Chains A and B, each alone.
Chain A
Amino acid sequence: MAKQIEVTDVDAYYGSHKAIEGINMTIDARAVTAFIGPSGCGKSTFLRTLNRMHEVIPGARVEGKIRMEEQDLYGSDVDPVSVRRTIGMVFQRPNPFPTMSIYDNVAAGLRLNHRYSKSQLDTIVEDSLKGANLWNEVKDRLNKPGSGLSGGQQQRLCIARAIAVQPQVLLMDEPCSALDPISTLAIEDLISKLKQEFTIVIVTHNMQQAARVSDKTAFFNLAAQGQPGKLIEMDETTKIFTSPTQKATEDYITGRFG
Chain B
Amino acid sequence: MSAVTPEIQRISGMRRFKDKGVQALVYLAFAIAVVPLVSVLWLVISNGLARFDMEFLTHSMRNIGARDAGGGAYHAIIGTLEQVALASLISVPIGLLTAVYLVEYGTNGRLKRSISFFVDIMTGVPSVVAGLFILAFWILILGMPFSGWAGAMALSILMLPTVVRSAEEMLMLVPNDLREASYALGVSKWRTIVKVVLPTAFTGIVTGVMLAIARVAGETAPLLLTVFFTDSINEDPFNGPQMGLPLYVFDQAARPNDTAIDRAWAGALTLIVIIMLLNLAARLITYWRSPARKR
**Chain A residues close to B by CB (< 8 Å):** 51, 53, 56, 58, 81-86, 88-89, 91, 93, 95-101, 108-109, 112-113, 143-145, 147-148, 158, 161-162, 165
Known: A84-B184, A97-B196, A144-B295. 14 other contacts (CB 8 A): A51-B184, A53-B183, A58-B107, A81-B183, A84-B183, A84-B185, A91-B184, A97-B178, A99-B202, A99-B291, A100-B291, A113-B191, A161-B185, A165-B185
Contact yes or no, B200 A99, CB < 8 A: yes
User: Which 3 pairs, one residue from A and one from B, show the smallest C-beta to C-beta distance?
Assistant: A85-B186, A109-B185, A89-B184
Cβ of A51: which chain B residues have Cβ within 8 Å of it? 184
Which partner residue on chain A sits nearest B189 by CB separation?
A81
| Distance, CA A56 to CA B179, complexed state (A) | 10
Closest Cβ–Cβ distance, residue A34 to chain B (whole Å): 19
| Distance, CA A26 to CA B263, complexed state (A) | 82
| Distance, CA A101 to CA B292, complexed state (A) | 11
Cβ of B107: which chain A residues have Cβ within 8 Å of it? 58
Contact yes or no, B291 A162, CB < 8 A: no
Closest Cβ–Cβ distance, residue A77 to chain B (whole Å): 17
| Distance, CA A148 to CA B292, complexed state (A) | 9
B53 interface residue, CB < 8 Å from A?
no
- Known pairs A95-B177, A95-B178; A145 contacts B294 (CB<8 A): yes
Cβ of B291: which chain A residues have Cβ within 8 Å of it? 98-100, 145, 147
Cβ of A113: which chain B residues have Cβ within 8 Å of it? 186-187, 191
The 0/1 profile, CB within 8 Å of A marked 1, for residues 171-214 of chain B is 00001011111111111100110011001101000000000000
| Distance, CA A100 to CA B185, complexed state (A) | 15
| Distance, CA A84 to CA B183, complexed state (A) | 7
Closest Cβ–Cβ distance, residue A5 to chain B (whole Å): 16
- Could you say which of B177, B185, B295 contacts A112, with CB atoms under 8 Å apart? B185
Cβ of B181: which chain A residues have Cβ within 8 Å of it? 91, 95-97, 158, 161
Count chain A CB atoms within 10 A of each CB in B107, B183, B185, B191 and give the residue with the most: B185
Contact yes or no, A112 B184, CB < 8 A: no
- Known pairs A95-B175, A98-B291, A147-B291; A112 contacts B182 (CB<8 A): yes
Cβ of B295: which chain A residues have Cβ within 8 Å of it? 144-145, 148
Contact yes or no, A85 B199, CB < 8 A: no
List residues 226-265 of chain B with CB under 8 A from any CB of chain A: none
- Known pairs A97-B178, A99-B199; A56 contacts B183 (CB<8 A): yes
- Known pairs A99-B202, A144-B295; A91 contacts B177 (CB<8 A): yes
Which partner residue on chain B sits nearest A88 by CB separation?
B184
Closest Cβ–Cβ distance, residue B190 to chain A (whole Å): 11
| Distance, CA A81 to CA B108, complexed state (A) | 24
Contact yes or no, B294 A109, CB < 8 A: no
Cβ of A147: which chain B residues have Cβ within 8 Å of it? 291
Closest Cβ–Cβ distance, residue A121 to chain B (whole Å): 15
Cβ of A93: which chain B residues have Cβ within 8 Å of it? 177
| Distance, CA A158 to CA B221, complexed state (A) | 54
- Could you say which of A58, A82, A89, A112 contacts B191, with CB atoms under 8 Å apart? A112
| Distance, CA A122 to CA B236, complexed state (A) | 50
Cβ of B294: which chain A residues have Cβ within 8 Å of it? 101, 143-145
| Distance, CA A113 to CA B190, complexed state (A) | 12
| Distance, CA A158 to CA B180, complexed state (A) | 12
Count chain A CB atoms within 10 A of each CB in B184, B186, B291 and give the residue with the most: B184
